[in-house]
Structure 1
């Protein structure tokens, strides 16, 4: 039997055509393309960072207490001098009081800088977790959890906005899936005390460095003491805020109401 078309070669197809008459084979079917899978997001426990922040905030509070005590000592020394017209003024005691006050100020700067670095790292961590919990309530992108602190004047407002979104997303959900409202009192107290302390410290520091007369120095030292006390209060509220928000995120993650995976912090077993 020959090809039904050319009658020269044996057929190889079902319709009786030879290999040449049938033509080249069509392209092989492409394998099915798998659907695009978005990169998986993870929760990262903020507990370790939170503990470090709490310890550093405690060091800030201790430095503030030391500064208040040093300020009281400065006022005592100057007050004694004013009472007797500096007739029996002890220069060595005055120098020691000034050195103690300056040392307390240096300690405040060092503890505050260290705390700020670790606090911002923790703040970014909880912001990324909030993106997993509920990105719809975040007013700004995750990068602003760091950048907002370095924008002049706006850093008095923007971090609080970001914190509000984190707080809302981290609140537990009720059994029916709706979000439970958690009062933000501790967050508002922390932010209000911190802003007031920041603004007051800039003003009182200028007054202290401009003071020349003993009475002016005493008055400026009193203002600085009040500012240090306010900073101590802000540190206490910051500790409460960090602990509360960290606990909220742990409770929210334990619900398992989200489809994403919890990844342990680096260094921990999976």
Structure 2
């Protein structure tokens, strides 16, 4: 039997795909639907659709760790605010702030790398679902996050295009979840940058850092939900599984 994905190599025993396509995370073609209204999306043969499930799980795990680190950072911020309000310094607060800040930086770097790998994969898949629905070139999937000014709205636009292309046929997925995540992310970034404006005013700096970590924690949770739902939509669409509407 020939591989049903690439159509070139023999399929593995008991499988519809060859070892190379299986290793690349390719999907077999979906089974025929039993009802015309449940007809799944049919992927043109030979196109390299790759599963986002593994990268999605890794991204969600790291985002969860970011949220946990933010919880500890909020505690450190509360200690700093208490000591600043009383007009004294606290070695415990300084130590807690330094430790949580270091952990946050390390987790953020790891999360950014894995998240961008996941985002690029779901973007490539989205082109196979609906290439005309992708309004920006592939290079912006990575570059949009690092270009000043455009990073305030380009990433959201890219995620929205992928989201809409991955939605079940005839069932719009909605964008409220993306809008909520992006709004909180922007607020947390702006608040983090604003802490430099309060040099010498420990009380306001501690308050802004507390607010920044709280919004960052909420943004991490919403980002994980976006990754989970988008990964699930692509997985179901690739397998031809009739999916219930995804709200948000």
TM-score interval w.r.t. the shorter chain?
Answer: 0.7 to 0.9
Give the aligned partner of residue 106 of structure 1. Answer: 102
Give the aligned partner of residue 145 of structure 1. Answer: 141
Q: Choose which of 222, 239, 242 in structure 1 pairs with 2:224.
A: 239
Q: Choose which of 41, 46, 64 in structure 2 pairs with 1:58.
A: 64
Deviations 1:201-248 (A, max 9, x none): 1112x035x12xxxx202210111011000001001001100010011
Distance 1:197 1:78 in 2: 22
Give the aligned partner of residue 96 of structure 1. Answer: 92
Give the aligned partner of residue 69 of structure 1. Answer: 75
2:56 partner SS: helix
- Alpha-carbon distance, 1:156 to partner: 1.2
Contact 2:191 2:211 in 1 (8 A): no
Give the aligned partner of residue 197 of structure 2. Answer: 207
- TM-score, normalization: structure 1? 0.69
Contact 2:60 2:224 in 1 (8 A): yes
| Structure 2, unpaired ranges of 5+ | 1-44, 243-248
Q: Return 162-171 or 247-256, whichever deviates more.
A: 247-256
1:4-19 pair list within 5 angstroms:
none
1:117-266 pair list within 5 angstroms:
117-173=113-169, 179-204=170-195, 206-208=196-198, 210-211=199-200, 216-255=201-240
| Structure 1, unpaired ranges of 5+ | 1-38, 83-88, 174-178, 258-270
- Alpha-carbon distance, 1:75 to partner: 2.2
Aligned Cα root-mean-square deviation (Å): 2.0
- TM-score, normalization: structure 2? 0.75
Distance 1:171 1:220 in 2: 43
Larger Rg: 1
